[in-house]
């Protein structure tokens, strides 16, 4: 991991994300790109071009002062930090910026109280995840460390999720963590027998890694919802990070059906990571 983007709005939630990103940067020797998206309202047609320019410069200078003060933190010492201020019309432009600078990870803060609309700035985290090709780590609380030891990777073992699985495994190589692969079996038309789930996992690992060594880390649980299955299992194994994948169509983590990460954000205090498959 070489570059980590942290979008900030100067709130305590974005500072929680910045602290977490700093811990990750120290662990992986990565550079932090601290990004502030400056939302200049539509310029009034009655304003002269010179006044429009003056107003833009004023807000830009103000943002530069705020970000300089915000980054004056002891925990950022000995970390390479690059502040970046961008004008935006739609917030999912973060994905374009992340792609341009070849970032490896986006770290974002979350209120985590009432679902996606309380994330970061309004529903902007949902917008970023819907469009992002880069893994995103969502932080709900201040973390003391990032020494993740038990990681739960919730998956449907579909072939479409293999690239995301491989991308996330590569990203997490520097963690000496046990990775639990989890399939949640639901009591509906998607219900699968043990033999069917075994076959899914076997085929998935064979195509993803060329072997089935990781079958020892595969877990099947039965639950009435994907969210409850993930949360219950994560509590049992003492997980400190949950990973899901998203189709990138309707927000976070439609790895099976419904909005899974919305419930995760509401009911779990754990950080979670997602990437579009």
pTM greater than 0.75 (yes/no): yes
What is the pLDDT, as a whole number, of residue 11? 87
How far separated are the first and last CA of the chain, in Å rounded?
20
Q: What is the Cα–Cα distance from 12 to 110, expressed in whole angstroms?
A: 10
Q: Where in the chain are the domains?
A: 3-139, 150-276
Q: What is the Cα–Cα distance from 174 to 60, expressed in whole angstroms?
A: 38
With a CB cutoff of 8 Å and minimum separation 6, the contacts of 214 are: 179, 181, 205
CATH number of 150-276: 3.40.50.620
Query: Strands 241-246, 81-87: parallel, antiparallel or unpaired by DSSP?
Result: unpaired
What is the pLDDT, as a whole number, of residue 51? 65
* The domain over range 3-139 is classified in CATH as 3.30.565.10: no
Going residue by residue through the chain (277 aa), what tens digit of pLDDT does each one get?
899 999 998 888 899 999 999 999 998 999 999 999 876 655 555 566 676 667 777 778 888 899 999 999 999 999 999 999 887 666 667 888 888 999 999 998 876 544 444 334 445 666 676 667 888 898 888 888 888 889 999 999 999 989 989 988 888 887 888 899 999 999 987 899 999 999 999 999 999 999 999 999 999 999 998 888 999 999 999 999 999 877 654 433 434 434 565 556 556 678 888 877 7
Asked whether the domain spanning 150-276 has the same topology as the one spanning 3-139, the reply is yes
What is the pLDDT, as a whole number, of residue 232? 92
What is the pLDDT, as a whole number, of residue 164? 87
Q: What is the Cα–Cα distance from 191 to 39, expressed in whole angstroms?
A: 47
Q: What is the Cα–Cα distance from 160 to 153, expressed in whole angstroms?
A: 15
What is the pLDDT, as a whole number, of residue 118? 39
Query: Strands 136-139, 272-276: parallel, antiparallel or unpaired by DSSP?
Result: antiparallel
Name residue 72's beta-bridge partners. Answer: none
Q: What is the Cα–Cα distance from 245 to 41, expressed in whole angstroms?
A: 34
Element spanning 202, H or E: helix 194-209
Quick one: which of 233, 48, 67, 242 has its CA closest to 137?
Answer: 242
Q: What is the Cα–Cα distance from 150 to 239, expressed in whole angstroms?
A: 5
Query: Residue 250: how many CA atoms within 13 Å on its side-chain side?
Result: 9
Q: What is the Cα–Cα distance from 167 to 182, expressed in whole angstroms?
A: 17
CB 125 within 8 A of CB 112: no
What is the pLDDT, as a whole number, of residue 201? 96
Helix 162-171 vs helix 194-209: angle between axes, to the nearest 10 degrees?
A: 60
CB 149 within 8 A of CB 240: yes
* CB neighbour class for 60 (10 Å; exposed up to 12, middle 13-18, buried from 19): middle
């Amino acid at each position: 991991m070489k570059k980590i983007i942290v979008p900030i709005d100067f709130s305590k939630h974005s500072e929680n994300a910045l602290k977490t990103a700093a811990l990750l940067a120290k662990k992986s020797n990565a550079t932090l790109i601290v990004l502030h998206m400056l939302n200049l309202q539509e310029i009034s047609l009655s304003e002269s071009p010179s006044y429009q320019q003056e107003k833009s410069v004023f807000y830009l200078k103000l943002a530069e002062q705020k970000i300089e003060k915000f980054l004056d933190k002891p925990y950022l010492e000995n970390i390479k930090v690059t502040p970046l201020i961008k004008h935006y019309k739609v917030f999912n432009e973060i994905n374009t910026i992340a792609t341009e600078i070849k970032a490896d990870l986006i770290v974002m803060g979350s209120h985590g109280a009432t679902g996606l609309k309380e994330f970061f700035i309004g529903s902007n985290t949902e917008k970023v995840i819907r469009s992002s090709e880069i893994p995103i780590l969502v932080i709900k609380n201040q973390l003391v460390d990032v020494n993740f030891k038990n990681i739960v990777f919730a998956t449907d073992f579909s072939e479409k999720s293999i690239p995301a699985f491989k991308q996330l495994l590569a990203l997490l190589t520097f963690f000496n963590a046990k990775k639990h692969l989890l399939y949640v079996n639901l009591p509906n038309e998607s219900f699968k027998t043990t033999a069917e789930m075994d076959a899914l996992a076997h085929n998935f690992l064979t195509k993803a890694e060329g072997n089935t060594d990781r079958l020892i880390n595969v877990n099947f649980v039965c639950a009435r919802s994907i969210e409850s299955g993930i949360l219950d299992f994560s509590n049992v194994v003492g997980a400190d990070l949950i990973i899901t994948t998203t189709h990138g169509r309707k927000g976070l983590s439609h790895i099976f059906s419904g909005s899974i990460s919305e419930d995760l954000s509401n009911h779990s205090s754990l950080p979670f990571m997602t990437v579009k498959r």
